[in-house]
Amino acid sequence: GAVIMNRVNSPLFPNSVKEVLFEKSYGYYQFTPAETGAIHTAEPNAQNYEAAERALNGEDPTNGALFFYNPDKAQSAYLESRTVSTTIGNHVFTF
């Protein structure tokens, strides 16, 4: 959620949550749930709603990250070249 809000607030990305979620770059969706369609069938629980609300209210454990990836599942020279802001669990967050 924080990465999405950081993108909304960045001049480098679209200006709305929906546009950020469904943005394609070089023909690829930026977020897997938009690409697979899972975003349309997801059933959020109370924890999901709380996390979304916290991101909307400005909480940002990523320190301003604009990108994230799981290096065990995705390799990207572009993402790996970015400055790391933090690691949370299996995900690396970058600027």
pLDDT one-digit tens code per residue, 35-68: 999 999 999 999 999 999 999 999 999 999 999 9
Considering just the CA atoms, what is the radius of gyration of the chain in Å? 13
Average pLDDT over residues 14-42: 96
Which residues, at least 6 apart from 20, have a Cβ–Cβ distance to it below 8 Å? 4, 7, 8, 13, 14, 30
Can you give the pLDDT at residue 93? 98
35 Cβ contact partners less than 8 Å away, ≥ 6 residues apart: 28, 29
- What pLDDT shows up at residue 48? 96
Q: What is the mean pLDDT of residues 6-24?
A: 98
The pLDDT value given to residue 71: 95
pLDDT at 22: 98
What pLDDT was estimated at residue 39? Answer: 97
pLDDT (0 to 100) of residue 7: 98
- Percent of the chain at pLDDT above 70? 100
